[in-house]
A and B are shown apart, each in its own frame.
Chain A
Amino acid sequence: MQGYTERIQEAARRLLADKRVDVVIGFRKGTVPFMNEPFLAKNLDQVRQLHWDGNCGINLANYLPKRTDRIGIVAKGCDSRNIVVHLLEYQIKREQLYILGAPCRGMIDRRRILASLDGRDPSSAEEKDGVIKVVGSDFEVTLDRQEYLQENCSICIHRNPVIFDELLAEPVPEQQDVDRYPDVRQVEAMSPEQRWVYFDDLIKTCIRCYACRNACPLCFCPTCFVEESRPQWVGKSIDPTDVRTFHFLRAYHVAGRCTDCGACERACPVGIKMRQFTKKLEKDIKELYGYEAGVISDQRPPLDTYRPDDPQQFIK
């Protein structure tokens, strides 16, 4: 994905100069290794801050709802799928958008890299030819990029944007023969008691900061159910029942809509494997309806339509 930065800046400059868009949403280089910051370029001066590398894991579709201007937006495969979901859910209009599609080779899992450094503090990192060179004051290590992708990226089958106005580069080859659900099958094979323990263990460190929810492009409700106060639906403490309620309801609310972009897992400050909740639902939707969220933009999603031949064996 080298060279995207120049292409993004060139396109942004052109789109802003031609008044084709009012703003461009992309990333600017972060202040710490393996982090970039979502950035809104409003004028030609700001365009030179736009940047791209393997640390653009945040889903930029999250910044679209409620915008009324014309927006240029850089979109990886997953971001583009969430743009489709936004279009289907009337969160943004297609004519407001100019989508700069970014064929993607996966984003870097910063937490796994930091864990592999065993407490050593990196000062900079550089990606080149499939490797990541990490440098600190008294060390230098070279890591295989493919091995340190975000987990959702390593099993991604939609690396190329599904909707775009122009592509920043030639499409990348899609990964073939990917088994997306070995972990889900393991959980399915558990007894109910084992599953209960498994999920309780996953969320035992939750601090109810809602980074998972707020990083998610699907969470645009004006008032989230956890914030309803008249009457209050769910307690706010870290009582296990309330924590469970939040996580299970959140997962069900994104059923049939989640694109497995991994933003929730990436954002969680305590490293909860958030996708363990959503992947099972994603698998069910795929098996029941043959549907993948955010891939088709001109057909209603299965969970907001009724068809007489819908599967209903789960109604007992």
Chain B
Amino acid sequence: MTEIYIAKDKLPATIGKLMNEHLVYGPVFEGQYHEFIELKAGDKIDLAYQNTRLSPKGLFHPHSERMCQFSLAKDDPEAGIVKEAPKDYSARIILGIRPCDAYAFRLDDANFDTPTIKDPWWTKRRAATTLVGLGCNQPCRSCFCTSVGTGPFDPSGLDVLLTDLGDGFLLQAFTEKGETFARKVPDGEPASPAARQKAGALKQSAEAQLGTQFDPKAIAEKDMLELFNASFWDEVQFSCINCGTCTFLCPTCWCFDIQDEVNETQGNRMRIWDSCMFPLFTLHGSGHNPRSQKLQRVRQRFMHKLKYYPDKYQSGVACVGCGRCVQHCPVNIDIREVARLMSATCVCPA
């Protein structure tokens, strides 16, 4: 593992050099919050940020993606043939992504990249991307990554981890892509033992601050139907307004709808984010809706993340503790509270 130190005043030149060879995405404050954007000359990357409002899942799984296109023109010999829409898979670097958000991509892989089914757009973008993460020296109060199997300095979803040491960054490469990246940082110097020690202390302090806020294992051990039929869902669901804020901001909510949009003779097959909070999400062609009630939809979101996903994939919960849903739910439904209810010793039936 390569470990180098780079002074902060040398960073802009390094980023400039990277931008000559790759698309580089970084957190930029725009309007009212931070967002990952493709950096152009003059954009101000802010590596002192907390996190982006929307998760960076959109860089791999955009809100609205044109998958295919087709023509319906009568005189077009290829009318009705659905063709893949051209896309840009240029090499890119996502700089400053938080470890939790990068870890989320691994969880999403369970859906998009399996031994039998490979989503072409997700996997090609994943292959073309180097994830250069930024450890969290100061986690937010709504964060709970350490309770869900990741952490503020977890490198497991990253190619490179940067740790902010004040006047510079410790850069640690964890994968082959990461090593390639490290070689492109010309102004690095060998990391001193003191720098490593400081990084270790920052990690320890951040993890201690986060603590353990609930125990997902206790949920995994529960009987599924006992949880499904628990009486607390009625209380949890009351305030929910069934908007898509939690699911759209969530880095591990991958659900989508497919729609054909036709304008005169030209059509696009679109893949668009969908949400289990919406009644239309489960409406059958027959008119039957297995989740017609709000309680069923609210329960589904938490059961999927904290029970069904762990049961099915045996790789932990489908939540990385980024806290976006906690911060931005308009009615303050807090997944940590729900997880505590789900893991409580007695889930008595009503």
**Which positions in A face B, CB cutoff 8 Å?**
30-32, 35-40, 58, 62-63, 111, 115, 119, 121-123, 205, 207-211, 213-215, 227, 229, 232, 235-239, 266-267, 269-271
Contacts and interface: CB of A to CB of B under 8 A. Distances in A.
Interface string B324-347: 001110111110110000000000
A68 B50 CA distance: 45
A38 B31 contact: no
A209 B31 CA distance: 19
Contacts of A208: 63, 244, 273
Contact of B141 (A62, A123, A236, A270): A123
Interface residues of B, number: 46
A62 to B, nearest CB: 7
19 contacts: A32-B326, A32-B334, A111-B32, A119-B50, A123-B141, A207-B248, A208-B244, A209-B245, A209-B248, A209-B275, A210-B278, A211-B330, A214-B242, A215-B330, A237-B64, A239-B261, A269-B245, A269-B249, A269-B330
Contacts of B239: 37-39
A282 to B, nearest CB: 22
B32 A115 contact: yes
Contacts, number: 113
Contacts of A213: 243
Contacts of B249: 269
A36 B31 contact: no
Given A39-B239, A227-B278, A269-B328, A211 B245 contact: yes
A211 B326 CA distance: 15
B311 interface: no
Contacts of B328: 269
B32 A271 contact: yes
B182 to A, nearest CB: 29
Contact of A271 (B33, B245, B257, B270): B33
B313 interface: no
Contacts of B79: none
Contacts of A36: 332
B240 to A, nearest CB: 9
A115 B50 CA distance: 13
Interface in B198-252: 235, 238-239, 241-245, 247-249
B326 A31 contact: yes
A37 B272 CA distance: 30
B332 A214 contact: no
Nearest to B29: A119
A160 to B, nearest CB: 25
B245 A31 contact: no
Contact of A30 (B49, B247, B332): B332
Contacts of B334: 31-32
A119 B48 contact: yes
A237 to B, nearest CB: 3
A224 B235 CA distance: 26
A293 to B, nearest CB: 21
Nearest to A229: B280
Contacts of A209: 243-245, 247-248, 275
Contacts of B333: 37
Contacts of A236: 64, 257, 259, 270, 272
Given A266-B330, A267-B241, 19 more contacts: A30-B332, A31-B334, A31-B337, A36-B332, A37-B239, A37-B331, A39-B239, A111-B32, A119-B49, A119-B50, A121-B50, A209-B275, A210-B244, A211-B241, A211-B330, A236-B259, A238-B63, A269-B328, A271-B33
